[in-house]
Amino acid sequence: MPVVVVANPKGGVGKSTLSTNVAGYFAAQGYAVMLGDADKQQSSALWLRLRSPQARAIPTWALQDGQPAKPPKGTTHVVLDTPAGLHGKRLKEFVKLADKVLVPLQPSVFDIFATRAFLDDLAEIHQTTKARIGIVGMRVDARTIAADKLNEFVASAGLSMLGHLRDTQNYVHLAAQGLTVFDVAPHKVERDLALWKPICDWLDAP
């Protein structure tokens, strides 16, 4: 059962946007996916409550004292939205659960410097775990110098940049309905689905 952990110690970088859309992608593929929210803000949990009954079901992944409980029988995929400030022992515990770790990262100098130590810790932990690690640029225009600097930074950390997601109101409007870009007619979000493709290919890879 694949477990995808979405992590970045900095708040406001797009963890919940990434988590909910990854869960939406798995659901769109017909998988029995659960979405857990270990963040105090509970943004992903709120998103689940907003989700339309007509949309593909995504149950919540129960947490006990901030730790994930064992998913019920029949679950095929799990996504976990982690809290801000994640580091040290707790980071290791979450990474130990994961088959894949997704790190959302914005192309500002403040986000990059705030995340450097975390990425170094993650790379070190990666040496002793099975988890694969991928970086997703959030609110990025791939044609900009900022995007180039972000790519250089990720490469310098020895990690993989999976792709960039653009800054668009599509995510805002869809989140207000508990939906993702994978829940609506493809022609409405064609540009976004194209940007998601390399990320989805990575998620699907064994």
pLDDT of 175 higher than 90: yes
The predicted model gives 20-33 an average pLDDT of 97
The predicted model gives 55-61 an average pLDDT of 90
Which of the residue ranges 108-112, 182-186, 187-191, 195-199 would you say has the lowest mean pLDDT? 108-112
Most trustworthy range by pLDDT among 80-89, 100-109, 127-136: 100-109
Q: What is the pLDDT of residue 55?
A: 95
Secondary structure of residue 4 in the 3-state scheme:
strand
- Name, in order, each residue with C-beta under 8 angstroms of 96's C-beta and a sequence gap of 6 or more: 129
Starting at the earlier edge strand, list the strands of the sheet with 132-138: 33-37, 77-81, 3-6, 100-105, 132-138, 160-165
Give 95: exposed, middle or buried? Use CB within 10 Å, 0-12, 13-18, 19+.
buried
pTM reported for the whole predicted model? 0.92
- Name, in order, each residue with C-beta under 8 angstroms of 53's C-beta and a sequence gap of 6 or more: none
CA atoms of 78 and 59, how far apart (whole Å): 10
Secondary structure of residue 125 in the 3-state scheme:
helix
pLDDT above 70: percentage of residues in the chain: 96
Q: What is the pLDDT of residue 108?
A: 86
Q: What is the pLDDT of residue 139?
A: 95
pLDDT digits (tens, 9 = 90+) for 140-174: 998 899 889 899 988 888 888 999 999 999 999 99
Q: Which CATH architecture has domain 3-204?
A: 3-Layer(aba) Sandwich (3.40)
Comparing 110 with 20, which gets the higher pLDDT?
A: 20
pLDDT of 41 higher than 70: yes
The predicted model gives 130-144 an average pLDDT of 91
Mean predicted lDDT score pLDDT of the chain: 89
pLDDT band at 67 (very low <50, low <70, confident <90, very high): low
Q: What is the pLDDT of residue 11?
A: 84
